[in-house]
Chain A
Amino acid sequence: MLDVLITHWNYFIVVFLMMIGLFIVISSMNLVKKLVGLNLFQTSVFLFYISLGKISGGTAPIIVAKADAPILYSNPLPHVLILTAIVVGVATTALGLALVLRIKASFDSIEEDAILSEKRNIRRRSLL
């Protein structure tokens, strides 16, 4: 059990960071803070992928053409996938922020409970 903790410590900490992000997303009522929590979660997932590509004793995957001895390189594939994911993450964050601004314009609040009670009031008024 203990040796698993030592050989996998990076993964365990990544899971911990991820859960802090998830907790912010589902427990916070403020929409901006929810988005920040989403970013936290996302960065932790990136860290998880990059940890998977690491080889101990390896170096960055930039090929040295005329090396005297064979060089051990880390796995470039997770790096490629995460490069794409980072840019897509910014697109989703921008879209989320635009939605938050629109919600603020409509409901004059970015707190989830205030928005929900306002919606309930609107429905009640429309029933009367």
Chain B
Amino acid sequence: MASLIINISLVGFMLVIALMILSSRRLFAVIVMSGAYSLISAAMFINLDAVDVAFTEAAVGAGFTTVLFMAAMAWLPAEEKRRETPRIFPLLICLVVGALLMWGVSYLPALGDPNAAPHQYVAPRYLAESYDKWHIPNAVTMVLASYRGFDTLGEVVVIFTGGLGVLLILTGKRRVRTDKEDES
């Protein structure tokens, strides 16, 4: 019961912050609020028993991403321009997509149901083998290192590609645009 109350209040915070991000036009405030959103979602992860994910989200999602945004803001204007055009079409798309998702989500097994399909196949095996076979008490680390090593390899490749892309975009040779030339 206490866990449910904590959950509901955390989710309430997240909703408020998301709506504030939507309405605010000052970009620094938007960035700091997105950091706060990540931090509260990390607290939510602890409540949902995902401690490793909570650590990563707090360090990487709330910390490093915010630092990246702040560093980029050094070269960018701090205010979003005011617009007059109505935003009905995007709202319509979001309502339709949201309704479809909610319809689909209502067919999922109930939250916390121990007999749901995701908990039936490999998960019990991972939990049983984690300590007896590999002698690693943390099941998440065990799966990451002992069973899904190629995932981590792929992740490293993605980060390498991302870093390479950032370096090339920011320091690469620039083509000087003239009036004659059509870049599109």
For chain B, what secondary structure do more than half of its interface residues adopt (helix, strand, loop), or is it mixed? helix
Question: Contacts A84-B152, A110-B76; is A22 near B162 (CB within 8 Å)?
Answer: no
**Sample (8) of A-B pairs whose CB atoms are under 8 Å apart:** A15-B102, A20-B22, A32-B31, A47-B44, A60-B50, A74-B50, A89-B65, A95-B166
Q: Which residues of A contact B179 (CB under 8 A)?
A: 122, 125-126
Number of cross-chain contacts by CB at 8 Å = 282
For B137, the chain A residues whose CB sits under 8 A away are 62-65
A77 B123 Cβ-Cβ under 8 A: yes
Complex-state Cα separation, A62 to B136, whole angstroms: 9
Name the distance in Å between A43's Cβ and chain B's nearest Cβ: 5
Q: Is the CB of A106 within 8 A of B177?
A: yes
Kindly list chain A residues whose C-beta atoms are within 8 Å of the C-beta of B87: 27
Residues of chain A within 8 A (CB-CB) of B94 are: 19, 22-23, 26
Q: How far is the CB of A27 from chain B (nearest CB, A)?
A: 4
**Is the CB–CB distance between A36 and B127 below 8 Å?**
no
Given contacts A20-B18, A75-B123, contact A62 B138 (CB under 8 A): yes
- A127-B72 Cα distance, complex, nearest whole Å: 35
Cross-chain contact A62 with B30 (CB below 8 angstroms): no
Contact A36 B50 (CB under 8 A): no
Q: Closest chain B residue to A20 by CB distance?
A: B18
B45 touches A50 (CB 8 A): yes
B38 touches A39 (CB 8 A): yes
- Report yes or no: A61 in contact with B138, Cβ–Cβ below 8 A: yes
List the A residue with the shortest CB-CB distance to B170: A98
Q: Contact check: which of A24, A77, A100, A113 meets B72 at CB < 8 Å? A: A100
Cβ of B6 within 8 Å of any chain A Cβ, yes or no, is no
CB contact under 8 A between A95 and B53, given known A72-B114, A87-B155, A88-B155: no
Contact B76–A32 (Cβ < 8 Å): yes
What are the residues of chain A within 8 A of B5 when measuring CB–CB? none
Residues of chain B lying within 8 A (CB to CB) of residue A61: 49, 127, 130, 138-140
**Closest B residue to A106 using CB positions:** B177
